[in-house]
Structure 1
Amino acid sequence: MHNSADNATIELEQRLQAASERHTNNPHDLSIIWEAIEILTVLKREDRLLPWADRALALSPHHADFRAMRATALNLLGRHAEAAGMLAHDLSTFGESAIYRLRLGYSLMMAGDLARAIPLLDEVRQIADSMHVHAEAESLLGEAMLKAGDPRGFTHWQMRSDSGDAFSYRPADIPEWTGEPDLRGQRVLITHQLGFGDNFLLAACVADWRAAGASMMITCAPQIHQLMQASLPDCEVVSMESPQQSHAPLPDAVQARVQAFAPHLHATLLRLPLLNASHPVSGYRFRAYLRAPSTKQQIAREWAQQLRSQHPGKRLVGLFWDCRQRHMPELGSIARCWAARRSLPLEMLNRITTNPAVTERVHFVNLHHPLVEAQAGTPAGDVSRYLPGIFHFDDTAACIGELDAVFAVDSAVANLAAMMSKPTCVPVNTSGDWRWGTQGTTTPWIEGATVLRQTREGDWDSVVQDAATWLTAQ
């Protein structure tokens, strides 16, 4: 039985099909193309705009909106260099506005052209005539600098909090931390934001704040509360849902705990690295700190002993290959396409799990939550599940703690394994996240992580070959 949202989607898809048929009979009717573009936008399928934008540009080659749509579609498909080339070509015609230069800066950054992206994004943040464009440009500038291995990028990257994609609780009655390095005697409230992987990575900086003398209270999502509580024993860790709107107030129950803690200062998760990592010298690394609760560790130890007895002499390696967001169209095309590009197709994974040279030495363990296995698919070969069950991330951590290594795409699981100091291999697409660096098989940010990079967008062949080499060397 369909609900109203499903019915609306079905109706839009029928309209799109009808528009496609009308376009076949009337290929020069621009109004039909506009209708198809509008429907795809409402459906949050902007990644499918490319053929329609091309049809529109064939009729109206210099139309700014169609050219912008084409660049958007190219970026969503991972064809960033093409998007940057198109936007750069149009710069003299359409490039006076800050928003146009922002689009070019983003495409250049994602294409890996940091030498051009960084000064352009710096220029945009200075000329932006709106707070949103300024915040977006500054956030992207920070990301580009971090991709280049420059820790000063954290100063700019924190503007994600103001660019609309990283909501955070910001209590109005607690002064914001302004960068003072001496925190002796200060009680500090840290409120969370972003995804689980970002929480796992950035909370490593709590140790820096504790070393500076601060007493800490940190909030986190319920799914990771037990894990964070076990991993940050010197902090008060508070469970609460992630905010759904910018500057949302603290929930009443949490507010009572905060009042009892009586913080002197507040900072968001994004600001944690600024204490020690925003200096012009390179070399800052996130230090491993995560560990499962002791009770979960014991359960995992007993499970691992049994599994090792069944596979004597083999290394146990965890697998995580599919980002769930790619199956969630309601999140929009940006989140969905980015998740799809980060995910390793099951047929590529199967080449690893059935490789005789690998399976002779390695036994694999599926690290996916059971509820998402139906979408991720079942790997070929002999791949075990964590039989005590994965319900929350403390279970995942307990399992990882008993493994010899983890092979995981850019995800919360990869961040979790790396922040547990477990040998971690991360396959990334051509424009991987800043934390995985941009060159070679290492990253300047995380010790012990091996990064396998696509050389051509969507082509995992060389990555699969390199993964087999890495696995047989474990």
Structure 2
Amino acid sequence: MKRPLISLTALLFYGSVAALSGPEHDFEYYRQRGNQLCQEDRLEEAIEPYKVAVQLQPKNIHAMMDLANAYHMLNHNIEALETYKTILEINPRAITALYNFGFTLKRMGCIEQTLAVYEQVLALKPDYPSARFSRSTLYLTMGDLERGFEEYEWRWKVYNETTQRFNCPMWEGQDLTDHTLLVHAEQGLGDTFQFVRYLKLLKERFPTLTIVLESQNQLITLLTQQPYIDRVIARNEQPPFAHYQIPLMSIPRVVKTTLETIPAQTPYLQIDGPLTQEWKKKLADDHHLKVGICWHGNAQYRTASLRRAVIAKSVTLALLEPLSTIEGVTLYSLQRVTGEDQINECSFKAKMVVFDISFDQQHGRFMDTAAVMKNLDLVITVDTGTAHLAGALNVPTWIMLPFPADWRWLRNRTDSPWYPTVRLFQQTKTGEWEPVIKQIAEKLKTLVAQRTQGASVHPSEPTKQQLQFFKQVVNSAL
């Protein structure tokens, strides 16, 4: 909901006119003041001037929309719903208010109710891109992957982008024998980690296929090591000739993925052998349960709404303190960039292994992270690229999820059809992380006890209990 920046001079003008004139100018001043505060991401402060504007003109649906949208962005869902409802009572065909009403319900986890509202939106305007795209994620959340991925193509219209990045036809399922397919990664790093598995699937179906992947720059080193990708190029690098092209996240649609046919065999990402062995030696003296932690997603998105979404699925490091008190556990920080500043203020910093500034620098982004993960017993993380990397590497992983969670984790599940070694721990109430972390701490204590009973340190031959340890890590969250 981007608005043009309003200058201080304009606000002073509105204020001076309001002091000399009637309520019409008062209204304009308060509405513009609210808009200015929203531009500055001061949403809490914007509520009051918006409310005054609505009081001055109770039938002005534009002012009501400003207020409702501010409530929505603040997660004041009930107030947002009530305000959108008032707009619809004035104008039942106010399609944006109707869509936003549904989207607010979606944010509250009301899947079926949201679907019903979107049906009303699409009855008024069948080609409403946001409703079609948002509905696709509802289908995906419900496990209807075929219908979900089909409608997921509406993302291009929502973001005003094109699938035609290169000068060749789109791949729609044609025979790829002896052909070259140009695939371009899209969205976040975690999306690429999750969906690059489909390139392995295509290589298995068409062994003579040449796959060229245009990737985010941070992932080039790691993805170049994957044997099923013939070449990785950077964004804006001149691509080679190709017979077809396709966005990475469109492949599930073309191959008609269902819950039963997700290519879930892991690991489908490999990491440099010598680097993994190097980290194995470095961590060899730690005989505790080695647990990697990641508490914050990437906050460097360009829009305030995306940054708020990241915050909603992130935790503060301080909340993970209960994990640091468990005997027999060593915590390893896998946090990079956003969130690292919390380490110095952390009360249990001395109990956590924090890698130096060369980590993931000398060998390439995510290279050390991946090599360390392969030498950990468990990764505990929020929903970010780290979670997908660990799952793709077949590392036992516990993911802390907000309520509601992203579509890819479905609903009412503790496992994931995308990653056999992943277990899910979800909020039962939006914003409440303490019960989630308490549950994880209890499961971690159980895991330590199971491990302690299993074997002594450095046995010459692994015991039966040790051979079962990996399975215990995966299943102990159930």
Q: TM-score, normalised by structure 1?
A: 0.80
Distance in 2 between residues matched to 1:377 and 1:265, nearest whole Å:
50
CA contact (8 A) 2:264 2:417 kept: no
CA contact (8 A) 2:59 2:90 kept: no
SS of the aligned residue for 1:218 comes to strand
- Is 2:271 aligned against 1:271? no
Match among 419, 424, 432 for residue 446 of structure 1:
419
**Bigger Rg over Cα:** 2
Match among 354, 360, 364 for residue 390 of structure 1:
360
Partner of 1:101: 98
Superposition deviation, residue 234 in structure 1: 2.0
CA contact (8 A) 2:290 2:378 kept: yes
CA contact (8 A) 1:227 1:393 kept: yes
- Is 2:281 aligned against 1:284? no
Matches of residues 370-449 of structure 1 in structure 2 within 5 Å? 373-374=340-341, 378-381=345-348, 382-387=351-356, 389-391=359-361, 392-449=365-422
For structure 2, the 5+ residue unaligned runs are 448-478
- Is 2:336 aligned against 1:369? yes
Instruction: Kindly provide the CA deviation profile for residues 343-362 of structure 1, in whole angstroms up to 9, marking residues without a partner as x.
Output: 10233122432xx3x2x031
- Is 2:192 aligned against 1:199? yes
Instruction: Kindly provide the CA deviation profile for residues 231-256 of structure 1, in whole angstroms up to 9, marking residues without a partner as x.
Output: x2121232323xxxxxxxxx3xx32x
Distance in 2 between residues matched to 1:206 and 1:225, nearest whole Å:
15
Give the aligned residue type for 1:365: Y
CA contact (8 A) 1:283 1:444 kept: no
Partner of 1:302: 281
Distance in 2 between residues matched to 1:77 and 1:55, nearest whole Å:
18
Instruction: Kindly provide the CA deviation profile for residues 188-241 of structure 1, in whole angstroms up to 9, marking residues without a partner as x.
Output: 1101110101111111121222233143111111211111122x2121232323
Partner of 2:204: 211
Superposition deviation, residue 141 in structure 1: 1.2
Instruction: Kindly provide the CA deviation profile for residues 132-182 of structure 1, in whole angstroms up to 9, marking residues without a partner as x.
Output: xx33222211111111121121111132233117x57733520011244x4
Partner of 2:476: none
The verdict on how the C-alpha distance between 1:86 and 1:371 changes in structure 2, with shifts beyond 3 A counting, is closer
Match among 109, 112, 121 for residue 112 of structure 1:
109
Aligned residues: 428
Partner of 1:246: none
Give the aligned residue type for 1:303: K
The verdict on how the C-alpha distance between 1:39 and 1:423 changes in structure 2, with shifts beyond 3 A counting, is same
Instruction: Kindly provide the CA deviation profile for residues 315-348 of structure 1, in whole angstroms up to 9, marking residues without a partner as x.
Output: 11111112241xx5x8232012111111102331
Superposition deviation, residue 275 in structure 1: 3.5
Superposition deviation, residue 412 in structure 1: 0.8
Superposition deviation, residue 125 in structure 1: 4.7
Distance in 2 between residues matched to 1:74 and 1:82, nearest whole Å:
6
Give the aligned residue type for 2:412: Q
Partner of 1:245: none
Distance in 1 between residues matched to 2:39 and 2:136, nearest whole Å:
31
The verdict on how the C-alpha distance between 1:337 and 1:149 changes in structure 2, with shifts beyond 3 A counting, is same
Distance in 2 between residues matched to 1:335 and 1:471, nearest whole Å:
32
Match among 53, 66, 69 for residue 69 of structure 1:
66
Distance in 1 between residues matched to 2:153 and 2:342, nearest whole Å:
33
CA contact (8 A) 1:155 1:274 kept: yes
Superposition deviation, residue 406 in structure 1: 0.8
- Is 2:179 aligned against 1:186? yes
Partner of 1:350: 321
Superposition deviation, residue 80 in structure 1: 4.1
Match among 130, 140, 150 for residue 136 of structure 1:
130
Distance in 2 between residues matched to 1:202 and 1:349, nearest whole Å:
30
Matches of residues 166-185 of structure 1 in structure 2 within 5 Å? 170-180=164-174, 182-185=175-178
Match among 218, 222, 227 for residue 222 of structure 2:
227
CA contact (8 A) 1:168 1:192 kept: no
Give the aligned residue type for 1:159: W
Distance in 1 between residues matched to 2:8 and 2:445, nearest whole Å:
50
Q: TM-score, normalised by structure 2?
A: 0.79
